[in-house]
Each structure stands twice: as C-alpha cells, then as structure tokens.
Structure 1
Amino acid sequence: MPTILGQNQYGKAENRVVKITRDGDTHHIKDLNVSVALSGDMDDVHYSGSNANVLPTDTTKNTVYAFAKEYGIESAEQFGIHLARHFVTSQEPIQRARIRIEEYAWDRIATSDNNSKFIGSDEVNHSFVRKGQELRTTQITFDGENWEVLSGLKNLTVMNSTNSEFWGYVKDRYTTLKEAYDRILCTDVASVWRYNWTNDEDRMPNWDKSYAQAKKHMLEAFAETYSLSLQQTLYQMGSRVINSRSEIDEIRFSLPNNHHFLVDLEPFGLKNDNEVYFAADRPYGLIEATILRDGVEPKIPVDMTNL
C-alpha cells in the first residue's frame, strides 16, 4: 500500500541555558529550558535520507547559546521571537519555527543588616534561591509572515480553606459523595493564554509585565470568588484576565481538583469541625475550559495547556 509523508518537524529539545547579566556587583539571572522545532521542505530527508535541506539539530542548540550572548534574554517571549525569526529567515527550506520555553524563576537571598557588607547588600547582590512557585511557559510560532505567541504557567498550587461549596449535583445509584457546604478548594493551575499580537512590525506587549499581571488577576479572582464549583472559579479567573488585559484574547485552564476529605475522628472520640483533612493525590477531578474575548475565534489547541 503506498504511503505519503504527513506533518513533520525536527529540532533540539530542552536546551538548558542560564544567562547571568552583571550590572556591576548586582547580578540578574534568566534560567530557561528551550526547545526548537523546525518544519518546511523536508520531504527528501524522509524519502531518500538526503540531508541537503537539514540544518543539524546541534546547530540549533548552538544558536540558542549564541543568541543568549548576542541578544541577551530580556524575556522568554522576546528570546523566542529572536530565535524563530532567525531560523525562518536564514534558512530557505525552513518555513515554520516553533520555540517552546520554560522559565525557572530565582529570588534573591535576603540577609540581616549586620552582615550587609556581604550577601544581599547594595554592594554585593549575587546570591539566589530557586523560586518554589510556578513554572513560566511560552511558545513562539513564526511562518515567515505571522507570529503566534502563547504564554502561560503551570504547577501553581493554590488553596482556599473555606468559601467553597459543592452541592445540588446529579445523583444516581452510584453516587456516594456527600454534599459539602464548607470545603477546601485546592488546585494546581496550568494555563495558556494567546496574545493578539501577530506582526513583528506592530508594537509588542511588555511580556514580563503582561505575565505578572495575568498571574495577579487569576490569583485575585481565585481568592475573591465564593465558589460553588471549580468550573465557576475557573471562569472567573479567565474572565478577570481577559477583561483586564487588552493584549490577551484567549486563555485556557486545566485545573485538577486536589481533593481534601474530612477524616473521620469519631472512632477516637473526637469531633472533626472542618479541621483535619486527608489530602488525596489521585484520582482527581480535572476541570478544563477556554475563556474567550467576545467575538474571538478559539485557536489554542485543547491539549496545549501544558506547554
């Protein structure tokens, strides 16, 4: 039976690059995990093994490190744009580049004033601790004319210890879950949002500010929503981001419901007044949805929440 080649791409995945910017004695860190995927006129290498149109994946790796020096890393999005533009415009067979980046955040180590002449002082500022919160993500796609920028985060664990209920749901012969009128709501937020910036000549968003604000609005919505369902909370988080950030047209969430069940303490003669819980890691409910600006067509694939 004859066969034909379908969609294909190649590149170098998970290039870890750490860029130290030395501003006198004050240092700044950008710590990225960069994956490059290229596609275009690649039929011959699949059909005959000819590498005439193939830029080695080792070269794409070297480009990541060279660009960290040549352009610096202002933001994950800006760095990805530099890389995508380079691969598409410098190599004729390459017609599309996709750059995926994970960013690992670092905080400065604070020290007491009596040791101020050393770590953490105005004179020396070069000690850091890895941030224990979310992982920042971005995906840059460029086809020679149009850009698509998807940014987001994952592994951001949040909890409301009250102001959450779950009742009035459908019940059948297999339903054993008791209705809850005061429960813990906990989830690991994974989210991707799409910017409406599509052309290199247009004014770009301030990527770092936009990311910080998107995260701020989703956290505020999580904290301020009296939740009757995780779906309701998800919608409020997405709506807050869309309504507050004009540069974002679409946002998608994947929220596992990290169940916390009240422990039965009656066998020990104790009353559990919503104080002691068992945190179950699996199975878990998984709530996923996309929130869009009115009139905008969805473009984020449903499987793209974890870049």
Structure 2
Amino acid sequence: MAIVLGENQYGKAENRLVRIDRDGERHRITDLNVSVSLSGDLADTHLTGDNGKVLATDTQKNTVFAFARDGIGEIEAFGLRLARHFVDSQPSIHRAAVRIESYPWARLEVAGKPAHHSFARSGEGTRTALITYDGERAEVTGGLTDLTVLNSTDSEFWGFPRDEYTTLAEVTDRILATAVSATWRFATAEGADWGKAYETARACLLDAFGGTYSYSLQQTLYAMGTRVLENVPELAEISLSLPNKHHFLSDLSAFGLDNPGEVFFAADRPYGLIEGTVRRDDS
C-alpha cells in the first residue's frame, strides 16, 4: 500500500493590521485581521524538507503590511490585490486564499461634536471577506459575523413533532434572538461596489429580521436571505448561520412573585443552530 501526500496548504494567519488615514485633522481607522493561505507545487518541502518553493510565512506577513502602505480601501479589493500578487509572483503557488475580518470603530463625540481622532470599538458586527485566486479565476465572498439582534415579541414556535423525549412546550409569544453570521458570494470578482453591497446587505438583514413575524428561526433565515438577494443584484447566493440565543422565563413563584414575561434567564449553551443558503435559481 502506497502512502502519498494529500491536499495541503500553508500561510500566515491572523495578521493584525491597523491603518490610520490622516486626511488633515479628521482621521479614519481601518482595523483588520488578515489571514493568508497558499497551496501549489509544495510536495518537496513535505517529502524532503527542500524549501526552494516555499514563500516564507514571514514574507507573507510583510507583504500584507507593505500593501497596506498604498492604502486599503474596501477589504474585498485589498484581498484581491494580495491573492493575485502571491499567485502571479510565485511559480510554485497555484492558489491563494485571503480571509479578512474588519472590526468597526465608531467616532466619539467631544462637546457634542464628532471627534476628529477619537474612536471606540462598536458592536455593529464584524465585516468579513474571503478571496480566492488560482491564476485564472478569482472568487469573492463578503459577509459579517457577530451581528447580535433580538425581537422581544412577534415570534412563535409550535406544531413540531412530539415523541417520548419531547419536553419543550409550544409557545405563541417568545423572545427571538441570534448572532448573525452571513457570507454572500459575488457573481463576479470584477466591477462590484463592495462597500455599497455590504451596507445594503447588512441593512436588509436587519430589516428582514425586525420585520418578519416569525414562526421559526428557519423562516426568518429565508426571509433575511431573500431580502438581501432582492436588493443586491451582484450577489449569487447568501449563506446564514443563526444560533438561537434562548431566553427562558424565570420562575419566581418561590419568592411569591409572578413573572408576566418580564424576567428571563439568557442561556449561552446548548443552543439551536439554524443554517442555510438562499440562492438565485437561473433555471
């Protein structure tokens, strides 16, 4: 029986990059986590330890920071620049994947006015991008993570199968909360307005979550995905991962108190995890 090397890749993970754009007195901050992964003709380093075709991960890190000196712009465009550079400049590298997380900062107010150079990390979710390039074709996926949302009513869950292990009560009024993680794939890697697509998709996710009377988190997922595709024509599909952040009504009867849907225990685990993809049907 022969033993052979299978698929492999390597890279520099989680390069923490902060750039300050100093446009006069008004500064702008870009805070990124950039991970690079490369694959290709790399069998020699695994089989014999010959590193002649291995672009050092330290070089990859340096490239990320050097490219940032020319400006970052939209993270999808920055990732495309990096991915194409690694493949086109290194004969042994046949595919590059660049994953980026962009952390939001909000401008502070000083004396009632927006500050020029003071910021606070905001809780609006983390923007993400994944760019792959194989020398001929590039693929761009945008998205976001950790966008925490909650509806305090207008959510039900009932009509599910019951067996000998079912203890969950049916409810016609519940809290529905989740931390949205979404990725959306662009139909083409060229010509998209990355920033507008992100802002529109994020707004659509929020609008659909808040505006959907929900009978299940699955129904809400489909409504959110549909709303994004209806309003961002550059996208081919969107995938969503929605953990159900359960809120259980706290029993206060031992203290002689009622609880008319006001006091809840917010459980962090275990949790239901609802995932799905909504795509365009071109048939």
Cα distance in 1 for residues equivalent to 2:249 and 2:122: 31
What SS class does the counterpart of residue 109 from structure 2 fall into?
A: coil
Cα distance in 2 for residues equivalent to 1:258 and 1:10: 35
Cα distance in 2 for residues equivalent to 1:74 and 1:283: 39
The residue that corresponds to 1:96 in the other structure is 95
Cα distance in 2 for residues equivalent to 1:49 and 1:2: 20
Cα distance in 2 for residues equivalent to 1:140 and 1:110: 35
The residue that corresponds to 2:146 in the other structure is 155
The residue that corresponds to 1:195 in the other structure is 186
The residue that corresponds to 1:146 in the other structure is 137
Cα distance in 1 for residues equivalent to 2:219 and 2:202: 18
- Is residue 2:109 matched to residue 1:110? yes
Structure 2 counterpart of 1:106, one-letter code:
W
* TM-fit CA distance, 1:173: 1.2
- Is residue 2:277 matched to residue 1:275? no
Superposed CA deviations along residues 68-114 of structure 1, whole A, max 9, x for unmatched, are 002x110111110110111111111111110001111111101224x
Cα distance in 1 for residues equivalent to 2:49 and 2:269: 46
Cα distance in 2 for residues equivalent to 1:268 and 1:50: 72
The residue that corresponds to 2:63 in the other structure is 63
Write out the 4+ residue segments of structure 1 that deviate beyond 4 Å after TM superposition: none
* TM-fit CA distance, 1:281: 0.9
How many residue pairs get matched?
Answer: 283
The residue that corresponds to 2:155 in the other structure is 164
Structure 2 counterpart of 1:152, one-letter code:
G
Cα distance in 2 for residues equivalent to 1:3 and 1:153: 40
What SS class does the counterpart of residue 214 from structure 2 fall into?
A: coil
Cα distance in 1 for residues equivalent to 2:11 and 2:256: 62
1:215-226 matches, within 5 Å, as 215-226=202-213
1:226-305 matches, within 5 Å, as 226-295=213-282
* TM-fit CA distance, 1:43: 1.2
Cα distance in 2 for residues equivalent to 1:28 and 1:78: 18
What SS class does the counterpart of residue 49 from structure 1 fall into?
A: coil
What SS class does the counterpart of residue 109 from structure 1 fall into?
A: strand
Segments of structure 2 that go 5 or more residues without pairing to the other structure are none
* TM-fit CA distance, 1:267: 2.5
Superposed CA deviations along residues 234-266 of structure 1, whole A, max 9, x for unmatched, are 000000001111011111111111111111222
* TM-fit CA distance, 1:158: 0.4
TM-score by length of 2: 0.97
- Is residue 2:205 matched to residue 1:206? no
The residue that corresponds to 1:87 in the other structure is 86
Superposed CA deviations along residues 261-292 of structure 1, whole A, max 9, x for unmatched, are 11122222322211111111111111111111
Cα distance in 2 for residues equivalent to 1:253 and 1:272: 34
Cα distance in 2 for residues equivalent to 1:97 and 1:253: 24
* TM-fit CA distance, 1:294: 1.2
Q: Identity percentage over the alignment? A: 57
The residue that corresponds to 1:302 in the other structure is none
Superposed CA deviations along residues 181-232 of structure 1, whole A, max 9, x for unmatched, are 110000111111101014xxx4x21111111110100110000000000000
Root-mean-square deviation (CA, aligned residues, Å) is 1.2
The residue that corresponds to 1:23 in the other structure is 23
* TM-fit CA distance, 1:59: 0.5
Comparing 287-296 with 141-150, greater Cα deviation is found at 287-296
Structure 2 counterpart of 1:20, one-letter code:
I
